[in-house]
Amino acid sequence: MEARKGLREETKELLRGSARTPSSLIPILQKIQKRFGYLPPEALEEVARHLEVPLSRVYGVATFYAQFSLRPKGEHSVRVCLGTACHVRGAPQVLEELVRQLQVGEDGLSRDGTISLETVRCLGACALGPVVVVNGTYWGRMSPARVETLVRALQEGTGDVEA
């Protein structure tokens, strides 16, 4: 309970000086996400109170824009494309191997909390499919066999090198 109170108080501090107009919702959410790394439910409740808008509106904006996350993220990001081109070329098997090797739980975080794994519908690199993006770097023509190389690079801190 104390952690929640601390989060609420910190959110209130972030909101001080922010305009109380609905048009300030996105900049406020950006500020909160920058601070916490995601948008905690308690923070969204405080935003709704601050702006005097329904909580559903705050959640609507937070879930509409891909820049926002409602879940904590690790310091490293791994995104697997499951769009049609990647899917038919084996992306589900690549994802399965990443989950196994990174030891990712249902929350999308590795056991140690340092790596976030998420799926996306298209990364716009269909000719390279299956595609995995690690910390912004595209790894094309992925296969379950290449996952070990990717994971090793990520664990050695070189996950952002060209693949």
Distances in Å between the alpha carbon of 3 and those of 14, 50, 103?
16, 20, 27
Task: List the CATH code of the domain at 2-64.
Answer: 1.10.10
Domain boundaries, the chain: 2-64, 76-155
Q: What average pLDDT values come out for the chain (163 residues) when binned by 10 residues? A: 73 94 96 94 97 97 90 90 97 97 92 91 94 93 95 76 47
| Confidence at residue 5, expressed as pLDDT on a 0 to 100 scale | 65
Could you give the CA distance from residue 41 to residue 70 in angstroms, rounded to a whole number? 8
Q: How many CB atoms lie within 10 A of CB 130?
A: 29
Report whether CATH 3.40.30.10 matches the domain 76-155: yes
The residues near 143 (Cβ < 8 Å, ≥ 6 apart) are 90, 93, 94, 130
- DSSP character at residue 18: -
Do 42 and 70 contact (CB within 8 A), yes or no?
no
